Amino acid sequence: MQSPFTLLARLINGYPKIVAGLLVIVLAISLYGTTLISMETGTAGYLDESSPFGQNYAEYTSTFSADTIILLVETSDPTGVDQIRFMDSLEEDLRQQQNIQSASSIADLIKQANGGTVPTSSAQVTAIKEQVPKSLLERYLPSNTFTMVLVTLDTGLSKDQSTAALNNIQSLVSSTHVPPGTTVSVTGSSAFSQQMGAEMRTSMGTLIAIAMILMIIVLGLLFGYVSHRFLPVLMVGMGLIITFGVLGLAGVQISMAAIAAFPILIGLGIDYAIQFQARLEEEARKGSLIDAVRGTMMNTGPAVFYAMFATAMGFAALFLSPVPMIRGFALVSITGIATCYAVSLIGIPVVARLVSYRPKGVHTEVHEATGYDRFLGTLSVRIAKNPLPLLAVVGIIALVGVALDSSIPISTDEKTFVPQDMPALVLMEKVSRTMGSTSPVPILVTGDRVDSLETLNWMIEFEDYALAHHSDRLTGATSIADLAVQYNGGTMPTTESRLRAVLETIPATTRAAYLSGHGTAQISFSSTKMDTQAQDALKGQLEEDLAFTSPPPGVSAQPTGSFALFTKLIGDLSDNKDGMTVLGFGLVLATLLLVYRKLNAAAPLIPIVAVVGWNAVAMTALGIDYTPLTATLGAMTIGVAAEYTILVLERFLEERRKTDDVYTAIEHSVQKIGRAITVSGLATLFGFSALCVSTFPMISNFGITTVIAVGFSLIGAIVVMPAALVLVDQVQSRLEHRREVRAGIAA
């Protein structure tokens, strides 16, 4: 049976126009698919909704979590009569909007204390302010230069409904006449997510454009020894369009992590295209174009496929992560590299046949064109003849990296992932500096009769205990128990019947914010501003407090909401980071053993292991933390390093079949493929470097680490791989010799 590569070569040589037409049809369908791409923001990228925590989080958000949109009113006199009238009018307009639960501001407090009307003089306002409790006044008037209108959306809104409500509020604010010297800005988590999505779309286009420009520059400078040197750029462009189209048609949302995957796809895609064109150029110099297409498909087709498949296996290890953003990164990466491989495999031979491709310098060997190839060949032989010192140094540095890896901090603060000058973030920081955290610390209480007297008494006990023991972090608490005390004249009812009567007197909208039916309630703590490490510590302490105070039988309580989500993310990244790396090694090794079924298959693992260790040394030296993106670095590096090392291994095995001398095989293989790998490696490196200019710190730091990883992978393939090959080849030869001796004795 003929191989699929032989059949494909025959099809391309026989019907190049038909194959090109089919490729154009796929491209046209993909262009439509790109219009269906949507961006993923918010918590969906961090949370597995099918997990127990995810289910509790979903119950909390659908029952109690109502987005609060903050209208920041900045003025020199926040409680001036004109300002009070303006905010009162603005609130009335806001309450008329769809999906708005409530709107409140300092104007409500002043009107309530003034018999329901707006005061007519500053003296009246001053007198009223002195009557309002200080804690309540500070909620709406945290500064002498600004105040706030708090707009609460209905609970359980879908993402589209929340977005529509936010757009309506922004439109209303922009069309409202404001007093002189006053500005009104929209902020809050919804505004933050909306702006982040817009920034992500802009960033994605910018990164892809920069990566493509860098590709053109690299190919123009380094790939001039072939005809049509920019052909790989065309292949990558087509590969990206088809990848976008497939993702759009499949309904896959693009997250921040997925954006980082596209420059990586450009880098790897250009690598595949360069390998195919370099081999086509080499084959075309020795014979006819038809033979060159056949030789390229039969030799480079399988070699690059094995490398691509091993890279995909490295990325596949990321599916072990419980973080959807990381799994999305893996899905986009695998889809993209498979698409780019297929486009280069088919596209380059088809274009070559359509344009009657002619190589530069007919009937001359590629490696005779430059002294760089001879330099690589000489270097590889010197390394191969004395491999142990090099491998010892490589191994020591890798071990240092393994030891340092556990000391690298993990960052999950979403606010540090985005551009620090993003207006929504700047406004949120301004509010939080004055008021503390704008996000609550919620405790979800579930079970039988959470509105019983016993449970409400426990809530008061737990609140007092937590506030007393964490006074530096927690600033207040509100629950259905506090409302029961408030509506009973300052004391908790002493009987179940009295409690039932008191609960009925609480307005339904107020009660619904803290109690749903008889089985679900929440305790909402307010807090100071904290980073994720402090939040993680507080979450652990609250869990210990809950265990110590012990809810009534049949009732359970646990931290939830965004507060618990981002602290849980630290554990998810820490617990699975090493597992993903180990699984990546295992999958790549299994792939190599399945394909080659010889000990030689283990040779690429030596430089791959080294590169992973070197990465940790570089991250420590540069002070780069682990994030949801850099946590993928181990598995991603395995995939990228496997690409180059397998290409060297494939060419070595091809040359080894021609000679019994391992050093000659290494010299010829590195001479013939070294320049192509160098060009593709540098092109990949420049493609990845586009990430470094991202305005998103998480993506730019990931770009720095990936550029370093690609550079290390290139060194591993060209410098470390010859030492690994000769070492493994010697072991393989000894094993085969022993088998032959045993077979002779047995005979």
The whole-number average pLDDT for the span 647-664 is 84
pLDDT value at position 663?
87
Within 8 A by CB and 6+ apart from 96, the residues are none
Kindly tell me if the per-residue pLDDT of 244 is higher than 50.
Answer: yes
Alpha-carbon 110 to chain mean position = 47
Kindly tell me if the per-residue pLDDT of 366 is higher than 60.
Answer: no
467 burial level (CB within 10 Å; 0-12, 13-18, 19+): middle
Six-digit token string for 616:
């940790």
Residue range 687-745, pLDDT digits in tens: 778 778 777 777 788 888 888 888 888 888 888 988 888 888 778 777 776 777 777 77
Q: Which of 729, 708, 695, 733 is nearest to 202 (CA)?
A: 695
**Residue % of the chain over a pLDDT of 70:** 88
Kindly tell me if the per-residue pLDDT of 93 is higher than 70.
Answer: yes
DSSP 538-598: HHHHHHHHHHHH-PPTTEEEEE-HHHHHHHHHHHHHHHHHHHHHHHHHHHHHHHHHHHH-S
Residue range 420-467, pLDDT digits in tens: 666 666 666 666 655 545 567 889 999 888 999 999 999 999 999 999
Bigger pLDDT: 494 vs 204: 494
Helix/strand number for the chain, H first, E second: 28, 11
Residue range 138-190, pLDDT digits in tens: 666 777 778 888 888 877 676 677 778 888 888 888 888 888 888 888 877 66
SS3 of 689-736: the string is HHHHHCCCHHHHHHHHHHHHHHHHHHHHHHHHHHHHHHHHHHHHHHHH
The whole-number average pLDDT for the span 34-60 is 72
Alpha-carbon 260 to chain mean position = 7
Kindly tell me if the per-residue pLDDT of 591 is higher than 80.
Answer: yes
Residue range 189-229, pLDDT digits in tens: 667 766 766 676 677 677 777 877 887 888 888 787 788 88
Kindly tell me if the per-residue pLDDT of 260 is higher than 70.
Answer: no
* Residues 300, 280: Cα–Cα separation, whole Å: 9
pLDDT value at position 132?
67
User: How confident is the prediction for the chain on average, in pLDDT?
Assistant: 82
The whole-number average pLDDT for the span 620-647 is 80
The whole-number average pLDDT for the span 499-510 is 86
- Is residue 33 within 8 A of residue 245, CB to CB? The reply is yes
Q: Which residues is 104 bridged to in the sheet?
A: 150
The whole-number average pLDDT for the span 249-254 is 82
Q: Kindly indicate whether the domain formed by 68-187 is annotated with CATH number 3.10.450.
A: no
Kindly tell me if the per-residue pLDDT of 39 is higher than 90.
Answer: no
* Residues 43, 41: Cα–Cα separation, whole Å: 7
Q: Where are the domains of the chain?
A: 4-41+194-414+568-743, 68-187, 449-553
pLDDT value at position 22?
95
Judged by DSSP in three states, 145 sits in coil
**Residue % of the chain over a pLDDT of 90:** 18
Q: Angle formed by the axes of helices 697-715 and 256-284, to 10°?
A: 30
| Domains 4-41+194-414+568-743 and 68-187 in one fold | no
Per-residue pLDDT band at 413 (split at 50, 70, 90): low
DSSP 325-354: HHHHHHHHHHHHHHHHHHHHHHHHHHHHHH
Judged by DSSP in three states, 240 sits in helix
Render the burial of 9-32: b for 16+ CB within 10 Å, e for the rest: bebbbeebeebbeebeebeeebee
pLDDT value at position 19?
93
Overall fold of domain 4-41+194-414+568-743: Multidrug efflux transporter AcrB transmembrane fold (1.20.1640)
Q: Which residues is 669 bridged to in the sheet?
A: none
pLDDT value at position 23?
93
pLDDT value at position 339?
94
Kindly tell me if the per-residue pLDDT of 489 is higher than 80.
Answer: yes
Amino acid at 740: E
| pTM exceeding the 0.75 threshold for the entire prediction | no
Residue located via tokens 């010697």? 730
Per-residue pLDDT band at 364 (split at 50, 70, 90): very low
DSSP 148-176: EEEEEEPTT--HHHHHHHHHHHHHHHHHS
Range with top average pLDDT, 37-41, 356-360, 633-637: 356-360
Kindly tell me if the per-residue pLDDT of 363 is higher than 60.
Answer: no
Q: Which of 582, 606, 562 is nearest to 722 (CA)?
A: 606
Residue located via tokens 């599916």? 319
Amino acid at 371: G
Q: Which of 597, 571, 615, 567 is nearest to 716 (CA)?
A: 615
Q: Angle formed by the axes of helices 371-385 and 662-689, to 10°?
A: 120
Kindly tell me if the per-residue pLDDT of 405 is higher than 80.
Answer: yes
Residue range 298-340, pLDDT digits in tens: 988 988 898 888 888 888 888 888 778 788 888 888 999 999 9
